[in-house]
A and B are shown apart, each in its own frame.
Chain A
Amino acid sequence: MQAVKRFINRMRSKSPWLLHFDCGSCNGCDIEILACLTPVYDVERFGIINVGNPFHADVLLVSGTVNHRNKKVLTNLHAQMPSPKLVVAIGACGLSGGIFREAYNVVGGIHKVLPVDVYVPGCPPKPEAIIDGVVLGLQKLQRLHEQPSVEKEA
């Protein structure tokens, strides 16, 4: 049983499929996220694919601030992803609202509406940092699954 569990966990960390949602970012972060898919960084080496479909995704990458308009969309996308799933907040805006935090329509960082697993700081963060964020998230997921008590609670 333990071996099967370990096997499943390994498979999960070997094929994280991404869903990227631009939650009102300035596009700086989005460009950096997409840069990860180019031949220079080539995240497909690690089995990472940008699927663009919440039904298929394992990792939700959110860039930009949450505002009153799009928070429903964001929670909806998160709800449509089959678990186990991860949320990675990208950039200063995703962490706290960044330079937009004072704006009248802004709710703040992603953690205001979703449980965030990994925060990747930067304005915008480097592609290396984004890849690192996803890897950290996967390690967290593995740790969660290796502790039986946590799984029961979930």
Chain B
Amino acid sequence: MTRTAILIACGLIAGPILGGLVSGMDRILTARMQSRIGPPLLQPFYDVAKLLFKESLVVNVWQVFCAYCYIAASSIALVLFFLQSDLLLILFVQAVGAVMLVVGALSSTSPYSHIGAHRELLQILSYEPLLVLVVVGFYLETGSFKLTSIYAWREPLLLKLPFLFIVLGYVLTIKLRKSPFDLSTCHHAHQELVKGLLTDYSGPFLALTEIAHWFEVILLLGICSLFWATNWFGMAILLVATYFLEVLVDNITSRMNWRWMLSYVWGVGLTLSLVNLIWLHQG
């Protein structure tokens, strides 16, 4: 009982703290790649703290509801991850949050917010099937959807599921809103999109969506860590390398349109996952 409580508390605290640090590192790395100095490491926390204490201007009350639902869903997903629950359940709880964010954006009348929301829906459409296929890969190899048994597997899953790891890389790029898949909202697109999906969230509610995003990032990095769960050292190297690659890809590619995203991600992603799944089945 106390163990459960401690794990829940860990999930709730680790999500925002690690997420904020990862996001701060991300901003510094990006700046260095563009030969800038970049903000301090704790900048994301400053931003969120400032936003939390700004005046709340609400376009539509549904947006408030949606922002709370988004953060609730993403924090529950991370807590379930810490509780070593069922991977499929975690995916669907996370999906509820993602959809609530879109619903909130659609409840305003701003055309930018609508464009962002539609693009976000297409992004969800592109990555959800792949994420499910990755989980199916785990199941075929370990025979269980339970995180406890996946973590307890005796050899690193990366050796058996290399293509599925690449597929998860695509998912991560879309989920982190990195180029070339940063269609729905990003800091660099304000000429064409303002802030897309997040245009009409402001003040404290923008802060909530940001914290919820940190929960999601940590959840996805957690899923990445399943690929090398046998020792801490390998896991850390895998995560750092993956995140570094994400930032690198973000800086060397440009934003593409949703048609390209859908055909490319489905084309490459589905092929790679099928090859990997068939290989597993044969082996």
Q: Do A and B come together as binding partners?
A: yes
- The range of chain A's interface size is 20 to 34
- Complex-state Cα separation, A50 to B187, whole angstroms: 8
Q: Is the CB of B195 within 8 A of A14?
A: no
Q: Give min CB distance, A7 to chain B, whole Å.
A: 8
Q: Is the CB of A8 within 8 A of B49?
A: yes
A56-B37 contact, Cβ under 8 Å, with A12-B50, A47-B47, A49-B187: no
Interface size on B, residues (CB 8 A): 31
B residues 48-68 touching A (CB-CB < 8 Å): 49-50, 53-57
Q: Which residues of B contact A44 (CB under 8 A)?
A: 27, 31, 36, 38-39
> Interface 1/0s, chain B 51-94, versus A by CB < 8 A?
00111110000000000000000000000000000000000000
| Residue in contact with A52 in the complex, picked from B34, B38, B194, CB distance below 8 Å | B194
Q: Which residues of B contact A80 (CB under 8 A)?
A: 57
| Residue in contact with A8 in the complex, picked from B36, B53, B200, B203, CB distance below 8 Å | B53
Q: Give min CB distance, A115 to chain B, whole Å.
A: 16
A residues 5-19 touching B (CB-CB < 8 Å): 7-8, 11-12, 14-15, 17
Q: Is the CB of A51 within 8 A of B37?
A: no
Residue of A with least CB distance to B56? A82
Q: Is the CB of A82 within 8 A of B187?
A: no
Q: Which residues of A contact B282 (CB under 8 A)?
A: none
Q: Is the CB of A82 within 8 A of B54?
A: yes
B190 within 8 A of A: yes
Q: Is the CB of A56 within 8 A of B195?
A: yes
Q: Is the CB of B39 within 8 A of A47?
A: yes
Residue of B with least CB distance to A7? B49
Q: Which residues of B contact A17 (CB under 8 A)?
A: 47
Residues of chain A touching chain B, judged by Cβ–Cβ distance below 8 Å, are 7-8, 11-12, 14-15, 17, 39, 42, 44-47, 49-53, 55-56, 58, 80, 82-84
